[in-house]
Amino acid sequence: MSQHPLTKEICEIAHYLYSKGLAPGKSGNISVRFQDTVAITPSGVSLGLLKENEIVLTDMDGQLVAGGDNPSSELQLHLEVYKNKEETAGIVHTHSSYATGFAMSGEKIERLEGFGERSKPFLKMVDYKPPGTMELAKLVGEGLKYEDVVILENHGVVATGEDLNEAALLAEFVEETAKTQFVARVLSKIEFLG
């Protein structure tokens, strides 16, 4: 595949997410939309080891344009978000430890001060549907119409942004929020001696 200007950015963000523990092993996927083309990470490749020539380009219907022939199994999820939220140009799907722990336990992650509307005290959680399915893609697309991030029940996090960097930083902030909430809950249950 000839190098697209955004493939370097995708690799840099992928390596960053991996280094921060937001996408361990071969988990997670990211994409960027430019005009009517989507650049997305391939299926089965660690974000920490991703190379520019492995990035897959598709059109908005999911038809391959260039790159490898194995786009992320969550391609439809990314496409649904782009179709439902015009201003989105970058999407990050992570499986970070704390946020995913909350997602698996069914516990909601509280919005920290300055993070979204206070009338909505918790981050939106999307009901569980099997990964890679159109059912999940539709739910996430709908869930992100008026949100920048959703928690996937029993699964992980999907964050969006007007560019990929914004989406990545939001995913990182969600993980830090979950970690802070977890620590606060643990400490509130500890009785200190002395």
DSSP states of 115-160: SS-TTS-B--EEPP--TT-HHHHHHHHHHTSS-SEEEETTTEEEEE
Residue holding tokens 């059912």? Answer: 135
Active-site residue list: 74
Confidence (pLDDT) at 188: 83
Count other C-beta atoms under 10 Å from residue 114's C-beta: 6
What is the band of 191 on the pLDDT scale with cuts at 50, 70, 90? low
The mean pLDDT value of the chain amounts to 92
Res. 2: pLDDT tops 50: no
- Burial class of residue 78 in the structure, from the number of CB atoms within 10 Å of its CB (0-12 exposed, 13-18 middle, 19+ buried): buried
For the chain, which residues make up each domain, given as ranges? 5-187
Residue holding tokens 């650049």? Answer: 39
Tens digits of residue pLDDT in 6-35:
889 999 999 999 999 999 999 999 999 999
**Three-state SS at 66:** strand
Could you tell me the CA-to-CA distances from 113 to 82, 118, 143, 154 in Å, in that order?
Answer: 28, 8, 22, 26
Structure tokens given for 67: 């790159």
* Lowest mean pLDDT segment, chosen from 88-102, 127-141, 163-177, 179-193: 179-193
The full length of the chain comes to 194
Q: From CA 159, how far away is CA 171, in angstroms rounded?
A: 6
CATH number for the region 5-187 comes to 3.40.225.10
Tens digits of residue pLDDT in 27-83:
999 999 999 999 999 999 999 999 999 999 999 999 999 888 799 999 999 999 999
Q: From CA 93, how far away is CA 33, in angstroms rounded?
A: 15
Antiparallel, parallel or unpaired: β 64-66 and 90-94: unpaired
Structure tokens given for 155: 């699964």
